[in-house]
Amino acid sequence: MGKVIKVGMADLNVCVSPDSITTLGLGSCVGIAIRDPVTKIGGLAHVMLPDSTTIRNNTNIPKFADTGIEELVKQVVARGANRSRLVAKIAGGAQMFAFQSTNEMVRVGERNVAASKKKLAELKIPVVAQDTGKNYGRTVIFYPETGDFVIRAVGKPESVI
């Protein structure tokens, strides 16, 4: 058994098998896990907002889907992953409350998911599985050894994508 690396909100990290990597309580934020299935090197990002270019104060790279994913890819490649073999799984992007206060805030979870997929497509990294949207929080654990992305939610059975 390897150790479990923890990723906080607006944070990212790299993980090499046999270790696993986790982020707790994803709400409207999105967790993006990538890995190279051959070297079993992976990583996880916990992004909060879709687009760094629309925000003035945007120096916090892991906070945004666009810059966060770019940085995550850079870091796993630096650790020894092969850029062209990378695949991704994503989870989160829920709408926690039925209403949201202002128009720009509407469906931020959904926009986070869309922005993450757009960035991954741009980088030609296929999204092989996802568990996104709905109205509940998720804890995720990613195993670069197998590529399993374990998802836990309150009052629901654990699932693996």
Partner 1 sequence: MGEITLEKMSDQYFDVLKELGNIGAGNATTALAQMMQCKVDMSVPQVRLLEFKEMGEMIGGEEIIMAGIYLAIEGDVTGSIMFLLEKQAARHLVNKLMGMQIEGEEFSEMEFSALKEVGNIITGAYLNSLSSLTNLVIYPSVPDLTVDMAGAILSVPAIQFGKLGDKMLLIQTQFFDDMVLDGYFILVPNLDSYGRILSALGIG
The CB-of-119 to partner 1 minimum distance in angstroms stands at 17
Which 119-158 residues touch partner 1, going by CB under 8 A?
Answer: 135-139, 154-155
Instruction: Let me know how long the chain is.
Output: 161
Residue 120 φ/ψ, nearest 5 degrees: -65, -40
**Strand 138-142 vs strand 149-152: parallel, antiparallel, or unpaired?**
antiparallel
Q: How many residues lie near partner 1 (CB under 8 A)? A: 34
Work out which of 24, 87, 123, 128 binds partner 1, going by CB under 8 A. Answer: 24
Which 33-62 residues touch partner 1, going by CB under 8 A?
Answer: 48-49, 55-57, 60
Residue 26 φ/ψ, nearest 5 degrees: -75, 130
Token pair of 134 as six digits = 């709905």
- Give CA separation, 48 vs 8, 84, 97, 108, 153, in Å: 11, 26, 16, 9, 19
Which 92-111 residues touch partner 1, going by CB under 8 A?
Answer: 94, 96-102, 105, 108
Instruction: Kindly name the residue from 14, 15, 26, 29 that is annotated as catalytic.
Output: 29
Q: Quick one: which segment of 66-74, 77-85, 89-97, 123-131 binds partner 1 (CB under 8 A)?
A: 89-97
Token pair of 3 as six digits = 């150790």
The CB-of-66 to partner 1 minimum distance in angstroms stands at 14
- Describe the crossing of helices 65-79 and 108-122 by its angle, rounded to 10 degrees: 40
Our answer to whether residue 29 is catalytic in this structure is yes
Contact (CB, 8 A) for 25 and 8: no
Q: Which residues bind partner 1 (CB under 8 A)?
A: 8-11, 24-29, 48-49, 55-57, 60, 63, 94, 96-102, 105, 108, 135-139, 154-155
